[in-house]
Amino acid sequence: MFNDHGHLNRRRFLGGFAFTSGAIATGVGSWVLRPEWANAAAAPIKVGIATDLTGPIAYAGNADANVAKMVIKEINDSGGLLGRPLELFIEDTASNESVAVGNVRKLIQRDKVDLVLGGITSSMRNAIKDPIVARGKTLYIYPQLYEGKECTPYLFCTGPTPAQQCDEFIPWLIKNGGKKFALPSANYVWPHTLNVYARKVIEANGGEVVFEEYYPLDQVDFSSTVNRIISNKVDVVFNTVIPPGVGPFFKQLYEAGFLKGGGRLACVYYDENTLNINQANEIEGLASCLDYFKTLTKDDPVSAKIQAAYEKDYPGNFLFAAGSAATGTYRGLKLWAEAVKEANSVEREAVAAALDHAKIAEGPGGPAEMVPGKRHCKMKMYTAVAKGGNYEIVGRSDGLVDPKEC
């Protein structure tokens, strides 16, 4: 089983693991959390998390796992769901689809979980959705921003969609950047589909797509791309290159004088985690559009509470951020908990029916609502710009934005 990314469980116990409840590694392999008050009378409700604990987006996967632990602990501390304790099973998808499928099978067939939440990249979601939903007949919540068009029954998405990320963002970019766009992209499904939508919005607002290119995921040399951007006098680089390429790409762009010449970087998955990939001056003015930014804690008490709770339990390098599916994970688990309460059961049919119209009043960035029949989630969206290594909010949506999917 040699894979490009091995199968390793990152030592998450570093960084202040403040759980007092019995977190036991049961020796069955996956990471399991059982609350202290679990007893034989009330059969536990099992929640499975499948996320990238190792690999290029481990910074995101570990944050998601931490959020899950935090939410589950919170629910258990207030008595569990339906009087039953929640048990958390965490498996590593290792940014490797083959390993991921094997581990997800463990969650479904060996641990027999009632819900699987996870997957970050679209390729991961595509690989594991079949074992979970079709063969495993289990509910699946996908928490990350993505390209849309996922309409599989029993698969619920709690992250932003292209409509939520582009409809207000791109007009802002045209007004605050310019009309000429470049679309450098990683070669997989999310950039391809997002670019189709983005192009529509760009052209509808009077902008122009100068070029659209796709690169292998491990490409780290972007000299020809940078040259094309500079020589075509592109105003806005609407980037969908992901790690490991994005760091060298932004650096090379900076060194070629793109920012000095007045260009603007735009990247819809950029959050507080990714700010650390480059030096601050290399990404000055970078704009992003997400459902949550940490700077919101200054004026939103709910966000402040959630952020504080996370940072208390998990100080360290894995930040609570929206581009890394952490907010989607929070939202997804809370919505699911509401659905279980309404359905008064963990049977897939019943919970799915309740989840279809679930709402939460308190979430990171604001409340959230599932759109009935669409399995996607309405939420508030914010546009922010990176200044000196921190984000500054420059735009807020008027209310909850419609995901416009399915």
Number of residues that bind another protein (CB under 8 A): 68
Which residue from 35, 162, 247, 403 is in contact with another protein, where contact means CB under 8 A?
247
Nearest to 88 by CA among 108, 72, 106, 104: 72
How do 31-33 and 86-92 pair as beta strands? Answer: antiparallel
Q: Rounded to an integer, what distance in angstroms lies between the CA atom of residue 160 and that of residue 201?
A: 16
From 71-79, 251-259, 320-328, 336-344, give the range in contact with another protein by CB under 8 A: 251-259
Query: Which is closer to another protein, CB of 112 or CB of 175?
Result: 112
Q: Rounded to an integer, what distance in angstroms lies between the CA atom of residue 229 and that of residue 206?
A: 19
- H or E segment at 33? strand 31-33
Query: Residue 86 forms beta bridges with which residues?
Result: 45
Query: Which is closer to another protein, CB of 8 or CB of 42?
Result: 8
From 25-33, 289-297, 336-344, 347-355, give the range in contact with another protein by CB under 8 A: 25-33
- Restricting to residues 307-346, name those near another protein by CB under 8 A: none
Can you read off the two tokens belonging to residue 255? 């060194």
Q: Rounded to an integer, what distance in angstroms lies between the CA atom of residue 155 and that of residue 138?
A: 9
- Taking CB under 8 A as the rule, does residue 166 contact another protein? no
Nearest to 211 by CA among 223, 194, 199, 219: 199
Query: Which is closer to another protein, CB of 172 or CB of 214?
Result: 214
- Taking CB under 8 A as the rule, does residue 213 contact another protein? yes
Here's the x/- map for another protein, 253-282, by CB under 8 A: it reads as --xxx-------------------xxx---
Least CB distance to another protein at residue 239 (A): 16
Q: What Å distances lie between residue 345 and 43, 203, 223, CA to CA?
A: 12, 48, 56
Here's the x/- map for another protein, 28-47, by CB under 8 A: it reads as xx------------------
Query: Which is closer to another protein, CB of 80 or CB of 243?
Result: 243
Tell me which DSSP letter residue 314 carries.
-
Query: Which is closer to another protein, CB of 6 or CB of 262?
Result: 6
Which residue from 209, 217, 302, 371 is in contact with another protein, where contact means CB under 8 A?
217
Which residue from 46, 69, 129, 264 is in contact with another protein, where contact means CB under 8 A?
129
Sheet holding 390-396, edge to edge: 208-215, 180-186, 236-238, 264-266, 287-290, 382-387, 390-396
Give me the phi and psi of 381, to 5 degrees please: -120, 145
Distance, C-alpha 151 to centroid of its chain? 18
Non-local (6+) Cβ contacts of 204 within 8 A are: none
Which residue from 34, 105, 357, 404 is in contact with another protein, where contact means CB under 8 A?
105
- Quick check: helix, strand or coil at residue 128? helix
- Restricting to residues 58-77, name those near another protein by CB under 8 A: 58-59
Interface with another protein by CB under 8 A: which residues?
1-11, 27-29, 53-56, 58-59, 94, 96-98, 101-102, 105-106, 109-110, 122-123, 126-127, 129-131, 134-135, 186-189, 192, 213-221, 223-224, 227, 231, 243-244, 247-248, 252, 255-257, 277-279
